[in-house]
Chain A
Amino acid sequence: MNQLLIHKHVKYFTLCLNMLPSKHQDQDNNKLSLICFCLEGLELLNGLGFSDVERAQFSDFIYNSYYTGNGFRAVMNPSGVYDIATMSSTFFGLQSLLVLRDTINEKVDRHSIMKFVQSCQWKTGPDKGCFAPTLNIDGTPFGDSDLRLCYMAVAIRRILKYDQIPPQQRKYDIDVPALIQYVLQRVNVSGGFSCVQLSESHSGFTFCALAMLKLLDYNLPEADSHQTLNWIVHRQVNHPEVLPGELELRHEDFGGFNGRVNKLSDSCYSWWSLGSLEILNHLDLSNLSAAAQFLLLNQDHRIGGIAKEFDSSPDPYHTFLSICSLALIKDKVDFEGNTQLSGLDVLLTAPTSAVEFLDSLKW
Chain B
Amino acid sequence: MNSEYTYDDIEPVALNEEQPQLCQILYTDQFKSVMGTLLALMKKNEYSDRALALTGLGIEILPSHYSIWIYRYNVIREIGKDLVDELDWLETISLDNEKNYQIWNYRQLIIEQVIGTTGQYNYHREFPIMAAMLSSDAKNHHVWTYRKWVVSRFGLFADEKENSFVEAMIEQDVRNNSAWNHRFYLKFGHEQGDAATSDVVDEELEYVKHKITVSPQNESSWNYLLGICNKFNISLQTLEGFCKQFVNDGTDSADEIELIKSSYALEVLAQVYNDDKSILYYDLLSTKYDPIRKNYWQYMKSMLI
Contacts and interface: CB of A to CB of B under 8 A. Distances in A.
Interface in A105-122: none
Contacts of A84: 66-67, 70
Contacts of B141: 195, 200, 202, 260
Contacts of B292: 236-238, 254-255, 287, 290
Contacts of A234: 219, 293
Interface residues of A, number: 76
B295 interface: yes
Interface residues of B, number: 75
Given A134-B70, A287-B293, A79 B39 contact: yes
A58 B74 CA distance: 35
A75 interface: yes
Interface string B10-51: 000101101011111111100100010001001111000000
A144 B104 contact: yes
A237 B31 CA distance: 40
B148 interface: yes
B21 to A, nearest CB: 6
Contact of A19 (B24, B63, B148): B24
A136 B23 contact: no
Q: Identify whether the interface residues of B are mostly helix, strand, loop, or mixed.
A: helix
B22 A242 contact: no
Given A28-B62, A284-B295, A287-B295, A16 B145 contact: no
A21 B16 CA distance: 15
Interface in A1-60: 16-22, 24-31, 34-35, 38, 57-58
Given A26-B63, A31-B25, A78-B43, 4 more contacts: A74-B65, A84-B66, A243-B289, A246-B217
Q: Which 9 A-B pairs have the closest CB atoms?
A: A238-B292, A80-B43, A29-B65, A144-B105, A261-B177, A82-B42, A200-B181, A79-B42, A285-B296
Interface of B: 13, 15-16, 18, 20-28, 31, 35, 39, 42-45, 61-67, 69-71, 73-74, 101-102, 104-105, 139, 141, 144-145, 148-149, 175-178, 181, 184-185, 189, 215-220, 223, 226-227, 230-231, 260-263, 288-296, 299
